[in-house]
Structure 1
């Protein structure tokens, strides 16, 4: 059986939220690798999908008045649609609620129990519901919070089944010591090896406190722990139990792309599960970084979550794909900025690549009636171009074997810039007027070769743009059907007619773009988000909130608090201190004497050392660029109830 098989996966994505730039980033990276490997002669299997079990899904569904399955069915479609928009070439899309997956999970659980690797016990510890994981006390944040998401932990004790992870720790270490690229980048490798050496605990792999999951075979009051269930998706999709030939073909060559937040599951628990099953651990797990947005962490409250659908609509799918992989070293954190993307489009795509194609086609049209001529002989300058092309293919292969997408693109753009330099140095426009004719033919042929090589190399990243380049050069078929490994300089089919078309990447006018972006932001912030409503409540729920009219009688700064005021509010029957984060929006003079509406039955909380006993009400757009206080429109007596 050929060893040129390649299995690549994304993580399966949780369906309790809408897709964002992080989901797009991992999936685009996997797609580019899958396309590249197909073009280098590999038989590729590429899988993505959705993770649909667990407490988070159950709770999110309840809030929306849906069953967990209804929520999963609805949200899953958002991912399918996004992959279509992003031109993702996955071979399979797996859902953990599918019967094929449930059968595999239960069979694996049963097998591990029978061989003594899963046993029953009692688990007591601090549990993070959003992350669906127990957190050791040594890893807890301040005030017993989750070290990953910062939310409060809950003390839980429950009967549980445990997986003997500790039994296989030495075997896993041995594997990593012999396979230094099994975890990438190198910093993550060091982190995981150090973690394993510090000692592994057996892992809880079942839950009794939730019902939304795969029932345990033989003990259905338990469901399979969501992470144990989710990791097995990679085997389900690869034919474990259902297609032994497929498993034999692809599993020895599996590569996982994941975010750095889930690396321990993929590099500790998962490979140990595989070793226990008698299967090889992944060839590589690459953990990439996180995206911030213009220097800030993405969050719904800030209104700065990047919508991939919107980015594709505004800039096109190929520029978006290119920007994500070129802007940041894969493995490091990155900062997303629309302005940076516009600059890349104008410089790399329009000025460099688009200009090379446009100049070449125009000169072929002007001097050879649009037909690519054949060459006579190559001089030293042409031979340098040949060497540059050959070395570019070699560099791209080396970088892609290390998932160094940005470095691969830098190498390709080095060739493109060399092509533009070649035009400037050979001056075809001068040769067209003064000759010699044979030299002009050779120069135009060499330029056609540069573009043929470029078209092949950019295809995995920008399939649509590569196809348009291919068509304008008059080349037959699709570039993705040609082998990157099979490129040979000098084999451009001379005599074919080019078909100069629309500009490959139009330049973006910066002033016009700034205006349009501002209008987009204004529209987004001024309109309520119809999908961001809270769950429906009954009138009895509302009456539990005690709202009363108050008046601000004192306003003080709080030392070292940039956003907070300490307010003294007169409620008629008493005065209360309220701490409020409105300092950026109001001066003390604007607040003093203002009548407001106050929530008076909130549990007191300390903020910056000051006890706050209530909350005033305000409204504004998602980005909090402006804020208005809720005030009575008549001179209502202080302390009156609002209902």
Structure 2
């Protein structure tokens, strides 16, 4: 019997971006869904990749003294390495600079041109270079700024090819009215229908003002507009338009996962292009929300951009994956907090899941020599658990159909909680003391079956930990990857030898974590990445920073903080205390008596219990291993202002 096909995509990511939490979020979600479908026996295909054409990439490359291709080749690695770090199991990674993509873009352009769906005209309008899109006056921000990124728009007039999108407004509206689940969440569906009912304008799809892109076939002074080019990756990766290529199998069931900012491109422009080609629109476009960080929008200038590589290094990829999909419903905006991640790891993963596994296997080892015993007569307690396992499996399947990842995890954790309560209710330790072998065997066998079910259900979300669970239960962890389905409750486990290993999720001590985080933030605040350029500022913004000369009076280590010093400073008009993460670079005696530069009007911050009232300035080597304090080149009184 042939397996059902399932094709899921992420957007292709701009290569001039540094991978951040938004990229990780979409890609982890696609990975989780792919793993779940694969485990359930589907024939899956998971695509991600990079968008490497367009004016902003051309400009970014020129600013670095590189060709656009050189920049793309360097930065694409950041995404490829992040997917490895996050345990992403994509089947393909497409780059829009690849020959396979160029050929399909030019084929589609020529096909639509020949049938009259593309025509040549001229276009004049206000253009946003970073977003690579023209902005209607009705949508502009104040002082002709882009409504999405806030940057200044540029007036551009150029000859252009246009896609006759207006021709497909009614067919597209009819498609969505007949397919109410084609766009999720429902609010996005309503938004797109409202937009379509207002009619569509033809879309400019070429540029003559840039050279970095795919040439228009037969008219190479034009370059295919980056959005028209980029969307086609979803067909190019599966072999369109070849007759016997995988697209014939996968395309009818493609699911596009995107951020809410690009919903119209995927739910209007792209489906209209597909209708023009005689190809079905996507089965589903799901637009998820955005992440803030502790209530604030992420920005480099604020220094609050979440680095997924760092989160994996600090907490492990399973904890990070679990948090992102458990914390917030997939279609809504979310707020990221490291503290919330640590608390959820301790509560859900360590206390609940890890504790259930460890307690159960300890008792199998202690009372049964490490071999899962046979089950005896069931009681009402066991029958209730069996019913809950069946209900959980049904509920998880329903949730995954709706991309309700958080609800699926809540359902699984109800089962985990019931497993822990079952231990408390049955008291296996008491049965062991009483040598009630038959009842003890039933309890431990039941617990191992619950753990087996839980391991399979959490495997798409936390694959490494699920594999460890299955291995500790004495089972073959590769079964999950092979897509052989979730074992039925009736598949007996008696006689299987368990292998209890290390704790699944060691608890994080909050006091130690707070100290370590304070040290990291102190270093980040003092030493920005030397390769990371901040946005331009006005002179008044610089004048608002009060820099002064300070004399170092005393230096002492901050207890239980390996990198922090407490410095007592003389500013002439007053004495101050600051905390700085320079301990590994200087001995106290090297600092006392020095005259350094201090930012004085920084808001006070408490670091490891010490209030820091200012920040010293230093330069860091590119490798982060060397440090030099900023000082003055001649004797000058403490408190002197820096201009």
Alignment TM-score, normalising by the size of structure 1: 0.85
Match of residue 314 from structure 1: 314
Cα deviations across residues 316-373 of structure 1 (Å, max 9, x unaligned)?
Answer: 0111100110011101110111100000110000000000000000111111111101
Match of residue 111 from structure 2: 111
Shift of residue 137 of structure 1? Answer: 0.8
Counterparts of 1:591 and 1:481 in 2: how far apart (Å)? 64
Counterparts of 2:39 and 2:263 in 1: how far apart (Å)? 29
- Whether 1:209 and 2:203 are equivalent positions in the alignment is no
- Asked whether the equivalents of residues 50 and 96 of structure 1 are also in contact (C-alpha less than 8 Å), the reply is yes
When residues 335 and 16 of structure 1 are mapped into structure 2, their CA distance, relative to the original with a 3 A threshold, is same
Shift of residue 143 of structure 1? Answer: 1.0
Counterparts of 2:571 and 2:125 in 1: how far apart (Å)? 47
Superposition pairs of residues 282-361 of structure 1, within 5 angstroms: 282-361=282-361
Shift of residue 162 of structure 1? Answer: 0.4
Match of residue 257 from structure 1: 257
Q: Residue 302 of structure 2: SS of its match in structure 1?
A: coil
Counterparts of 2:601 and 2:168 in 1: how far apart (Å)? 53
Cα deviations across residues 437-458 of structure 1 (Å, max 9, x unaligned)?
Answer: 2111101010001000001001
Superposition pairs of residues 556-595 of structure 1, within 5 angstroms: 579-580=540-541
Match of residue 605 from structure 1: none
- Asked whether the equivalents of residues 395 and 411 of structure 1 are also in contact (C-alpha less than 8 Å), the reply is yes
Counterparts of 1:621 and 1:308 in 2: how far apart (Å)? 32
Shift of residue 288 of structure 1? Answer: 0.5
When residues 121 and 622 of structure 1 are mapped into structure 2, their CA distance, relative to the original with a 3 A threshold, is farther
Shift of residue 478 of structure 1? Answer: 2.4
Match of residue 557 from structure 2: none
Cα deviations across residues 6-55 of structure 1 (Å, max 9, x unaligned)?
Answer: 00000000001211111011000000000000011100010000000000
Counterparts of 2:600 and 2:264 in 1: how far apart (Å)? 40
Match of residue 433 from structure 1: 433
Q: Residue 377 of structure 2: SS of its match in structure 1?
A: coil
Cα deviations across residues 297-318 of structure 1 (Å, max 9, x unaligned)?
Answer: 1011111111111100000011
Match of residue 529 from structure 1: 529
- Asked whether the equivalents of residues 456 and 484 of structure 1 are also in contact (C-alpha less than 8 Å), the reply is no
Shift of residue 436 of structure 1? Answer: 2.8
Match of residue 279 from structure 1: 279
Shift of residue 496 of structure 1? Answer: 1.0
- Whether 1:227 and 2:227 are equivalent positions in the alignment is yes
- Asked whether the equivalents of residues 129 and 153 of structure 1 are also in contact (C-alpha less than 8 Å), the reply is yes
Q: Residue 145 of structure 1: SS of its match in structure 2?
A: coil
Q: Select between 156-165 and 433-442 the one with higher mean Cα deviation.
A: 433-442
Match of residue 165 from structure 1: 165
Counterparts of 2:285 and 2:81 in 1: how far apart (Å)? 26
When residues 48 and 378 of structure 1 are mapped into structure 2, their CA distance, relative to the original with a 3 A threshold, is same
Match of residue 395 from structure 1: 395
Match of residue 268 from structure 2: 268
Q: Residue 258 of structure 1: SS of its match in structure 2?
A: strand
Q: Residue 245 of structure 2: SS of its match in structure 1?
A: helix
Superposition pairs of residues 601-612 of structure 1, within 5 angstroms: none
Cα deviations across residues 94-129 of structure 1 (Å, max 9, x unaligned)?
Answer: 000001100100010000000000000011111111
- Asked whether the equivalents of residues 125 and 135 of structure 1 are also in contact (C-alpha less than 8 Å), the reply is yes
Counterparts of 1:240 and 1:583 in 2: how far apart (Å)? 57
Counterparts of 1:107 and 1:619 in 2: how far apart (Å)? 59
The gaps in structure 2 that reach 5 residues or longer are 549-569, 574-596, 606-613, 618-629, 637-641
Q: Residue 504 of structure 1: SS of its match in structure 2?
A: coil
The gaps in structure 1 that reach 5 residues or longer are 536-544, 546-563, 565-577, 594-616, 637-641
Counterparts of 1:581 and 1:293 in 2: how far apart (Å)? 26
Shift of residue 631 of structure 1? Answer: 11
Shift of residue 461 of structure 1? Answer: 0.7
Match of residue 139 from structure 2: 139
Counterparts of 1:622 and 1:281 in 2: how far apart (Å)? 54
Shift of residue 519 of structure 1? Answer: 1.2
Counterparts of 1:591 and 1:226 in 2: how far apart (Å)? 55
- Asked whether the equivalents of residues 457 and 484 of structure 1 are also in contact (C-alpha less than 8 Å), the reply is no
When residues 243 and 521 of structure 1 are mapped into structure 2, their CA distance, relative to the original with a 3 A threshold, is farther
Q: Residue 292 of structure 1: SS of its match in structure 2?
A: strand
Counterparts of 1:478 and 1:3 in 2: how far apart (Å)? 19
Counterparts of 2:281 and 2:16 in 1: how far apart (Å)? 29
Q: Residue 287 of structure 1: SS of its match in structure 2?
A: strand
Counterparts of 1:165 and 1:55 in 2: how far apart (Å)? 23
When residues 622 and 319 of structure 1 are mapped into structure 2, their CA distance, relative to the original with a 3 A threshold, is farther
Superposition pairs of residues 53-64 of structure 1, within 5 angstroms: 53-64=53-64
Alignment TM-score, normalising by the size of structure 2: 0.85
- Asked whether the equivalents of residues 6 and 43 of structure 2 are also in contact (C-alpha less than 8 Å), the reply is yes
Q: Residue 123 of structure 1: SS of its match in structure 2?
A: strand
- Asked whether the equivalents of residues 449 and 493 of structure 2 are also in contact (C-alpha less than 8 Å), the reply is no
When residues 532 and 624 of structure 1 are mapped into structure 2, their CA distance, relative to the original with a 3 A threshold, is farther
Q: Work out the number of aligned pairs and report it.
A: 573
- Asked whether the equivalents of residues 455 and 479 of structure 1 are also in contact (C-alpha less than 8 Å), the reply is no
Match of residue 512 from structure 1: 512
Shift of residue 525 of structure 1? Answer: 2.6
- Asked whether the equivalents of residues 301 and 623 of structure 1 are also in contact (C-alpha less than 8 Å), the reply is no
Match of residue 586 from structure 2: none
Shift of residue 251 of structure 1? Answer: 0.6
- Asked whether the equivalents of residues 546 and 601 of structure 2 are also in contact (C-alpha less than 8 Å), the reply is no
- Asked whether the equivalents of residues 602 and 615 of structure 2 are also in contact (C-alpha less than 8 Å), the reply is no
- Asked whether the equivalents of residues 239 and 247 of structure 1 are also in contact (C-alpha less than 8 Å), the reply is yes
Q: Residue 245 of structure 1: SS of its match in structure 2?
A: coil
